[in-house]
Amino acid sequence: MAGQTPALSFNTTFDAETGRPVAVAAGLVRVTAPNAGPYTFKGTNSFIIGTARVAIVDPGPDDDLHLEALTSAIAGRPVEAILLTHTHLDHSALASKLKAATGAPVWSGGKHRLSRPGRLFEINAVGGDSDWRLTPDRVLEDGEQLAVDGVALEVIATPGHCANHLAFGLTGTPWLLTGDHIMGWNSTLVSVPDGSMADYLHSLEKVIGLGYAHYVPAHGGTIEDGPDHARALLAHRQERNRQVVAAVNAGARKIGELLATIYPPLAQPLHGAALMTLKAHVEYLVDRGLIGATYGPFGTTLFPSRA
């Protein structure tokens, strides 16, 4: 049916070929770090852009084996810049060592920062996984045009997963590096106050309209029909919003009660991620007056909208 929202499906068959350079497209090579886990899937994908001269996107975790793999794949070529999609440690922690090894400057969307000020008693659940100390040599702005060895790059601000998140489009091609904003193996974690559901949804809509066909995420494999997958993710989040409102109207008063209602079969290792994302949905809905909430030292208490 014309205009029908695509069904959301995830691909978990990705062969990372950890530590080996894998050609993704002309002038684009992937090297996956050995940091597989519940939040990183098969590991963080680092990318090498260019041929004679290169740029590195997301050097990855502070891991000596990965540094060796990247150095081997670079093979002595000049590195013009180290680009970061964002400053969570599984993407950025190796930046300083790679900079020391190559002399390349670090370019990003700025220092790590919260999407909003923290509330009294609020815990930033991903604070320990964030690279607060890294200061880039250059702050990239939305819409900037970069060039690496004849490869033109478009800087695209995509906040939501975190405040300084960027995507990089290979201008004039169908390829878009989406970082953690859009992935094919799972939906993206949005944890307040580090991230923002409102920003995330806006960034999804923005990316869908850019015209790139193939999305290349920082975890997992290429998403061949990127815009359709992004539309499905957007519809999935909108349905979550509806489920949260319905659960609160039916009597749910705590985030944990939402988890039991909305994710009853969820595996235990994923409970933390689901709780974080539900908190982001709650904040989004409270800000729009669709539910109410009070915040205190013993957590968030929910109630139906009084509008």
Give the whole-angstrom CA distance, residue 30 versus residue 19: 9
What is the tens place of the pLDDT at every residue in 185-216?
999 999 999 999 999 999 999 999 999 999 99
Sort 242 into a burial class: Cβ within 10 Å, 0-12 / 13-18 / 19+: exposed
Q: For each of the domains in the chain, give its residue range(s) and CATH number, in order of start.
A: 22-226 (3.60.15.10), 237-304 (1.10.10.10)
Give the whole-angstrom CA distance, residue 109 versus residue 212: 21
What is the tens place of the pLDDT at every residue in 237-252?
999 999 999 999 999 9
3-class SS of residue 192? coil
- What are the residues facing 304 on neighbouring strands? 291
- Each of the 307 residues of the chain gets a pLDDT tens digit; together they read 446 788 899 999 999 999 999 999 999 999 999 999 999 999 999 999 999 999 999 999 999 999 999 999 999 999 999 999 999 999 999 999 999 999 999 999 999 999 999 999 899 999 999 999 999 999 999 999 999 998 999 999 999 999 999 999 999 999 999 999 999 999 999 999 999 999 999 999 999 999 999 999 999 999 999 999 999 999 999 999 999 999 999 999 999 999 988 987 777 777 889 999 999 999 999 999 999 999 988 889 999 998 7
